Chains A and B, each alone.
Chain A
Amino acid sequence: MKTLEFNGSGAEYFKIWIVNILLVLVTFGFYYPWAKVRNKRYFYANTCLEGRYFDYHATGKQLFFGYLIAMTLLIAYLVLEQVYPIGSVVMILLFFIATPWVMWRSMKFNLSMTSFSNVRFSFDGLLGGAYINYMLLPAVLFLSIYGVPILLAILLSMVDSPLTWLTILIAFLGVIVTVCLAIYLSALILKRNTAYAINSYRFGQGSLATNVETKEFSFIVLKTVGIGFLLGVASMVIITVLSVLLVGSQAILDLFNGLDDPEMLSSAFGMLSMILAPTYLMLIGSSLFLFAYFYAKKRAYVYANSTLDGNTRFSSTLRPGAYALVTLTNFFAVIFSLGLATPWAKVRVMRLILENTHVDTDSGFDEYITAKQEEQSSLGEQIGDAFDVDVEFGI
């Protein structure tokens, strides 16, 4: 097993980052595509496996027209939103319909612009697959999460006596069924999305393949939900204890009694702000931890079950606690530095992730050769960027 290395540094990236921002500002945003290329290249070209480097090959010029069109669409949307809200709703709808296409184009473009050891990646997933995985399946999930409780409510409203032990049992079962269904369907979507993406990745003439299963994903989702529940209960207990200790139970009672009296309310509100800060902290801490837990577990599972041509294997040893700690400290560093710590924060996360990524190859990489591919337009990629569509294809 060989481990990926990251050769960049926060200080070096800071200089590149600040010069990028300066140039974007003085060119009224027109430099953005070039800045984006420099940012991306810095992270790709500093990523190394056994002396072989990744690289990002798109040029500012290639991104520029896609960028112009995407910005025009974004501005049109923002103007419509103010002037003619119905128009902006129609635009959101159109955009929603186009989202799988945007993600598909984005993956095609970005992978074709990425190389490892002088060999390009590519993406040959079908557009239909993108629509099934990024639109149809999430729609089914959405409908069933909302559909089951609604059906249940209709059913219960038809029963004459509303509160017998039978109806309570039905309601209870309904909640359980909904939760199970939601967990199962999320796991199914995770499996389908992962399989669609990874099985469509090509490295030169080689193919990546994965054999992830819904069952394993169900466990990961279930554990995440369980930990989330425990964290929620724990936070609530801590906040209650804290508020009684810090503010005193009398003040809390005053707060409820004072809802009608503005003067009393405002004084109670001042005291409340003392527990507001720790509450907010706990909320951020636990949501970051949950995200880190889910991400790390999912990553480890997917990497362990994917190969390149059956003879190159991957593994991820990213631990949820370490990842959560880095994202949490990054969060505060970025806020208290008014954004100036952003480059350092990004480098830190990148280093942690890469140094926990391992590759084991029987055949080596020398036999890989870039496969012929059509030129990809950057339009979808740039629209995705402008409208914040997350397309993830982690290395």
Chain B
Amino acid sequence: MKILGRLYKEGSAAWSDAALTTHGEEAHVFVDEQSVLRDKLVHLIVSDRLGNVERKVIFTDGSVFATSDNDGIDRLFAGHRKKLSGLLHRLESNIRSVVIALLVTTLCFFTFVKWGIPWTSSKIAHALPFSVNELIAQNSLEFLDEYIFEESKLEKNKTDQIRAHFQKIIKPIEAEHADIVFNLYFRDWQTGEQGIPNAFALPSGDIILTDKFIELCSSQDEINSVLLHEVGHVLHRHTLERIIEATFVATVVMMITGDNNGFADIGLGLGSLLLSSNYSRDHESEADVYAFEQMLAARVDPKVFSDILSRMSTYMEEAKEQSTKQDWVDYISSHPSTQDRVEQALHYSECFKKGKLHCPPNS
């Protein structure tokens, strides 16, 4: 068998028309019917097949035999080439495998984004020592105190009472997680004339309750349910997870845009924004479920959580209507998922009424 092509001397631009044949374990190159080059097949380097791109066979003296007869080369070197490179070309040329690749790629991408990233992030977050959480939270409270919060205006015996209950809840949890110290803080948070009801946890275990939140709560159980929700965030290391997830998303975005033009960035930016809000919704429900499980164990009706949640959301809605200087951004950022969370709380409340100590979440 004869393959027609061109022979180049090492590094030279000039070529002669040539033919390549094999005799047993040897390759011969002929120019004008004269044998000019011979080499053992095993010594030759054959470039990978890529579409219909010119194929190159490199000899030990650096000479290059180039040909467009890709099939000829494949047949000639059938027994001598690396399996892997041939496989790549077969994948690329077979229409069925391309369709499969398309489907698998879409599926993989979806699976990776939906479950892979949060799962891996959670594993990494829990593999790191807890002190990483303290590192992240460092100076956060000072920052918030300086720029956002004011001193709490609650009466001391009220806060002492809440603290006492908090200690009761937190003792067994701290006993289980020896490396975490939980602290409770009371702060006032105002925008304009209105107080903002909120509770949140720093990754270090510092939990902050705002005055307006305490004011809206009608029972100690309601406060406790929210505290447990915040403890859930801390134990699940959600802040750390969010950081790792953001890193993943940014890396994936970079890998996609690395292959694309700048305009695709617009769409990707929006996509990653939606993605991170999706992840944070997952975190909320995870913390909710933690709180509900704890409440079942402590024989408290999880319904109280839905009560305070609805009250807070109603308050925020009303505050918005009363306020004259609201920009339209607030319309978008209002929580659409409150309804789902309330339903989950009612589901756990049913479990409570049946006297269950554990209950699978409603998906």
Contacts and interface: CB of A to CB of B under 8 A. Distances in A.
Interface of A: 7-8, 12-16, 18-19, 21-22, 24-26, 29, 32, 38-39, 41-42, 45-46, 52-53, 55, 71, 74-75, 78-79, 82-83, 116-120, 204, 260, 262, 265-266, 269, 284, 330-331, 334-335, 339, 342, 365-370, 385-386, 388
Contact of A53 (B54, B112, B254): B54
A71 B13 CA distance: 37
A15 B92 contact: yes
Contact of B51 (A12, A32, A266): A12
A110 to B, nearest CB: 15
Interface in B189-203: none
Interface in B243-258: 243, 246-247, 250-251, 254-258
Interface in B81-100: 88, 91-93, 97-98
Nearest to A116: B13
Interface string B35-58: 000000000000010111110100
B93 A15 contact: yes
Contact of B255 (A18, A29, A262, A369): A29
A120 B11 contact: yes
Contact of B251 (A39, A74, A366): A74
Contact of B243 (A55, A82, A366, A369): A82
Given A12-B51, A18-B98, A204-B13, 11 more contacts: A22-B105, A26-B104, A74-B254, A78-B251, A82-B247, A116-B13, A117-B13, A118-B12, A119-B12, A260-B325, A334-B264
Contacts of A369: 11-13
Given A25-B108, A82-B246, A262 B13 contact: no
B50 A38 contact: yes
B11 A204 contact: yes
B51 A8 contact: yes
A119 B54 contact: no
Contact of B331 (A29, A75, A262): A262
A365 B13 contact: yes
B280 to A, nearest CB: 14
B318 interface: no
A119 B13 contact: yes
Contacts of B54: 45, 53, 55
Given A8-B51, A385-B258, A19 B12 contact: no
B104 A22 contact: yes
B328 A18 contact: no
B254 A260 contact: no
Nearest to B252: A29
A41 B53 contact: yes
A299 to B, nearest CB: 17
B260 A367 contact: no
Contacts of A368: 12-13
B186 interface: no
Interface string B101-117: 11011001100100000
Contact of A366 (B10, B13, B259, B261): B13
A204 B112 CA distance: 46
A39 B93 CA distance: 15
18 contacts: A12-B52, A16-B50, A19-B92, A19-B98, A19-B101, A22-B104, A26-B108, A29-B251, A41-B50, A74-B254, A75-B247, A78-B247, A79-B247, A82-B243, A117-B8, A117-B15, A266-B331, A339-B256
Contacts of A78: 246-247, 250-251
B164 to A, nearest CB: 35
Interface in B302-329: 324-326, 328
Contacts of B324: 260
A36 B209 CA distance: 52
A12 B125 CA distance: 43
B318 to A, nearest CB: 14
Contacts of A119: 11-13
B31 interface: no
A385 to B, nearest CB: 6
Given A53-B54, A260-B324, A368-B13, A75 B105 contact: no
Contacts of A82: 243, 246-247
A330 to B, nearest CB: 8
Contacts of A367: 13-14
A224 B192 CA distance: 48
Interface string B1-22: 0000000101111110000000
A268 to B, nearest CB: 10
